[in-house]
Chain A
Amino acid sequence: MENYFWGYKRPDGRFGVRNHVAIISASDNANFIGRNIADAVNGAVAVPTGFGRGEFGEGLKQHVRTLGGMGANPNVYAAIVVSLEPVMANRVADFIKKSGKRVEVITSDTDGSTIDATAKGIKIARQMVIDASCLDREKVGLEHLMLGVECGGSDTTSGVISNPATGLVADKVVDAGGTVILSETAEWTGAEHLLAQRAVSEELSQEIIEAVNRFDVFYKNLGVDMNANNPSPDNQKGGLTTIEEKSLGAIKKGGSRPVQAIYKYAEHPDKKGLVLMDAISAGVENITGLAGAGCQIIIFSTGKGNPIGNPVVPTIKASGNPRTVTLHADNTDVDLSAVVTEQMPIEQAGDLLYDEMLLYAKGKVTSSEVLDDLVVSVSRNGKYVYGY
């Protein structure tokens, strides 16, 4: 079994599996300009955002860390940050600059009208793409890989097929010295004791339990009992009855190795092995956090199907539901339904998914990449302060 991938070396020593020029909006009012630039230049991807004005405190830090983290992500060769004004643009650009890569800033304040700002962006992006195209991939070990695991549109097959198969891939990456990020805190509820038991210290074990309780209290203070409202109606239709059942299936995608640390949303892990990211479970928000943290690849396990991907991180859709892989064939990257239809052993499903992951790392395009179904949502969950 192969234990290496082909990556583009970056100035900070990380390796990308894509070679994107990212056009990152630092605020919502720059999305149109950012999209115009990305649409005009082959090889450039738009990373739009909501909000970005009137951000303070923890919310501001999270906004900058996430967008900056996507720019710093090794899958990005160089970035252009677009904004209404230079203050927010430079916050994001400065974050990206720490990775040593080329960053340019375009703002309406300094560069003028939509047409003028767009034209300037196109000229810069054009040259960045040409420069990026001169790079070759290098063969590197899996210790340089950071894999994000996500599940969305869950049904029973997620917990018994695609999540356990993803977990087997996660174990292989960890055993080879790489990093795996498991997230979706609310969906550890009822299974958090199992993660806590695998924590490398008593302190971390306690932090995991507290993270789950914090989510619970946060929602209760808003008058919502999350555990009575999750699984969602579509999860329930798929056969999931309670949050405990969903969680016990959800944590399977993280594999079985010891838990090394827990991090904030979109925080770059400084430890290798299996780590946790304390974040909301909603698919787009969560994979945006995984991309911001620096994952080069995301395996997105789904039961009932989900079309989206992240613009800078290839998002591999894997499903074990025979109906979903037919109905959503165009959105499915790895079909694991043979576990149902042909009694394929789960270990074999894990091997299949691992081999496919390495192919996607090598450059095979995912369905969300080829269909351009790429979306971003920086989480607003947590202690947000609004200026307006």
Chain B
Amino acid sequence: MIGRAEKIWLLLAGLTLLGAWLAETAEHGWLLAVTVAGVIVLKGRLVAVGYMEIGAARALIRRAVWGFVLAVPFLALLDYRFGDVVAQYTRAALH
């Protein structure tokens, strides 16, 4: 009998193997970046909701964890697309 935890584990393992396959075969590009960000959000949600049970947690906990899971891949996409702008605005701070 496969329960909820087992289904989540299978999904996480499958998405991990997808990541390994992408690491070996995928080319640089926007499609890879969007796929990676989507997989991060999906895996993060599976762990946060399925394993940490934040769906039933207080709003502050839900927002903090879910905000982290969304913010990091979103920032990664911004960085991937607008890296030159990020470099321009942070150059002064680094030199």
Q: Do A and B truly interact?
A: no
Q: B residues touching A (Cβ–Cβ < 8 Å)?
A: none
Q: A residues touching B (Cβ–Cβ < 8 Å)?
A: none
